[in-house]
């Protein structure tokens, strides 16, 4: 819990023998469900539509098998991000990241969508792992770690206050995550640096009041963190209102590629006609609306 002195945060209580850790400024970095930020009055209760739940497994495999299966030169890795079937068509994505002697694999979706659909990320991840395009990549591996993680997906205009007297909030606890470009860890690290710069300035002034710590918010405003979050703020709700983006369009793209690239004695002209016929199966008005809407989200 937080320690308060004269209306300002002055430290935290811990489970150690000493029991208390005092500081001129406390940095809150306790994740999306930040109990300390709530205690400081800086973090409202976020709605399920503003959080995603991710399930991840760490699967061990020999380094040479990983390099062979992912066609990797020695010393390099791979990062796969898969949309559509990886999440049963819900707004979210599946991912595979190679490590030196292990593979990180996971899926996730908005908490509200999981609740309304009656699905859970455990089943989603199991289904993803069994997909014929994924199963061979992890075959023979041993799962040594399982984790579930809440991440914030807040609208730019609903980001919380990130400072008060004697306290600043960073990373997921401050809602600093870019869900469209899947950036979180880097933004958390950068927000930590900006908070540290502000705290150094506060120490030089001998003033850890909210007025001085407001410099942290100013630094965030001038950084790529909020600049990028503002730019993509329209994209997540746009995609959420159009679940067919993650089902119909990927299937159309895959079907068109299969048709065009299959060597079966049919001319390319005929194949193009078949692909156009596939496209005609989609509602024209919706297709145009999706295209125009996508362009608008980039402005």
Number of domains in the chain: 3
Name the band, by pLDDT with cuts 50, 70 and 90, for residue 176. very high
| The pLDDT of residue 246 is above 80 | no
For 119-149, what is each residue's pLDDT tens digit?
999 999 999 999 999 999 999 999 999 999 9
Residues 226 and 273 in one domain: no
In a domain, 19, yes or no: no
Cα 88–chain centre separation: 17
- pTM (predicted TM-score): 0.82
Same domain flag for 287 and 223: no
CATH number of residue 115's parent domain:
3.30.9.90
24: pLDDT strictly greater than 90: yes
Give the domain-ending residue among 191, 210, 233: 233
Least confident of 139-153, 158-172, 215-229, 273-287: 273-287
162 and 39 in a common domain: yes
In a domain, 22, yes or no: no
Digit-coded pLDDT (tens) for 205-218: 999 999 999 999 99
Structural domain boundaries, residue 99: 48-152
In the block, residue with structure tokens 């999981």 = 114
Clarify whether residues 147 and 63 are in a common domain. yes
Residue 187 pLDDT grade (very low, low, confident, very high; cuts 50, 70, 90): very high
Q: In residues, how long is the chain?
A: 299
Q: Could you read off the pLDDT of 87-116 as tens digits, one per residue?
A: 887 888 899 999 999 999 999 999 999 999
pLDDT value of residue 204: 97
The answer to whether 34 touches 43, Cβ cutoff 8 Å, is: yes
């Amino acid at each position: 819990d937080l320690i308060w002195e004269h209306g300002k945060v002055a430290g935290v209580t811990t489970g150690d023998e000493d029991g208390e850790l005092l500081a001129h400024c406390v940095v809150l970095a306790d994740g999306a469900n930040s109990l300390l930020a709530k205690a400081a009055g800086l973090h409202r209760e976020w709605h399920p539509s503003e959080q995603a739940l991710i399930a991840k497994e760490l699967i061990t495999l020999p380094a040479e098998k990983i390099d062979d299966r992912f066609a990797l030169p020695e010393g390099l890795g791979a990062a796969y991000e898969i949309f559509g079937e990886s999440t049963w068509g819900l707004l979210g994505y599946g991912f595979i990241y190679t490590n030196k002697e292990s593979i990180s694999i996971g899926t996730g979706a908005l908490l509200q969508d999981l609740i309304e659909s009656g699905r859970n990320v455990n089943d989603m991840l199991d289904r993803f792992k069994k997909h014929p395009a994924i199963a061979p990549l992890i075959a023979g591996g041993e799962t040594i770690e399982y984790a579930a993680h809440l991440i914030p997906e807040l609208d730019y205009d609903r980001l919380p206050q990130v400072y008060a007297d004697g306290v600043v909030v960073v990373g997921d606890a401050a809602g600093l995550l870019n869900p469209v470009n899947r950036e979180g860890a880097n933004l958390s690290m950068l927000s930590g640096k900006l908070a540290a710069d502000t705290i150094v300035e506060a120490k030089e002034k001998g003033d850890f009041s909210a007025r001085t710590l407001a410099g942290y918010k100013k630094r965030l405003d001038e950084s790529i963190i909020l600049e990028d979050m503002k730019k993509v703020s329209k994209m997540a709700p746009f995609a959420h209102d159009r679940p067919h983006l993650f089902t119909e369009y990927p299937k159309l793209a895959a079907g068109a590629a299969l048709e065009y690239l299959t060597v079966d004695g049919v001319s390319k002209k005929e194949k193009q006609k078949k692909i156009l016929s596939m496209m005609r199966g989609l509602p024209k008005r919706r297709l145009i609306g999706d295209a125009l809407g996508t362009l608008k989200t980039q402005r």
